Amino acid sequence: MMTTLACYKLDYIGYKGQAQLFSAIHLLFCVGLFLLLPVGVTLYVWLAAAEAVLFAVALYACLREWRTAEYALFWRHATAW
For CA atoms 73, 65, 63, 68, the dihedral sign is negative
Three-state DSSP class for residue 10: helix
Higher pLDDT, 14 or 55: 55
Question: Per-residue pLDDT tens for 17-76?
Answer: 999 999 999 999 999 999 999 999 999 999 999 999 999 999 999 888 877 766 666 666
pLDDT at 58: 93
Q: In the structure, what pLDDT confidence band is assigned to residue 14 with cuts at 50, 70 and 90?
A: confident
Q: Residue 25: how many CA atoms within 13 Å on its side-chain side?
A: 17
Q: How far is CA 31 from CA 14, 57, 58, 60, 61, in A?
A: 28, 20, 19, 24, 24
State the Cα–Cα distance between residues 77 and 63, nearest whole angstrom.
19
pLDDT at 66: 78
